[in-house]
């Protein structure tokens, strides 16, 4: 698998991540750097979901 394909697959797996699930993933991180990476991904996913709710005027 190419790096590009791997990144795409990672995105596909993460985009539907439940925000509550991210806490367990952060807790289970193997390093501080991994913990920061997971937090950044979770934060991005939450921002995208918030953006969608705002655009749909469901707030």
pLDDT digits (tens, 9 = 90+) for 13-55: 998 888 789 999 999 999 999 999 999 999 999 999 899 999 9
Please spell the DSSP secondary structure of 16-52, one letter per residue: T--HHHHHHHHHT-SSHHHHHHHHHHHHHHHHHHHHH
**pLDDT confidence of residue 20:** 86
Asked if residue 8 has pLDDT above 90, the reply is yes
């Amino acid at each position: 698998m190419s790096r590009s394909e791997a990144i795409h697959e990672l995105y596909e797996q993460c985009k539907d991540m439940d925000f509550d699930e991210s806490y367990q993933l952060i807790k289970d991180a193997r390093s501080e750097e991994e913990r920061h990476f997971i937090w950044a991904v979770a934060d991005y996913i939450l921002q995208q979901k918030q953006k969608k709710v705002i655009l749909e005027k469901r707030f």
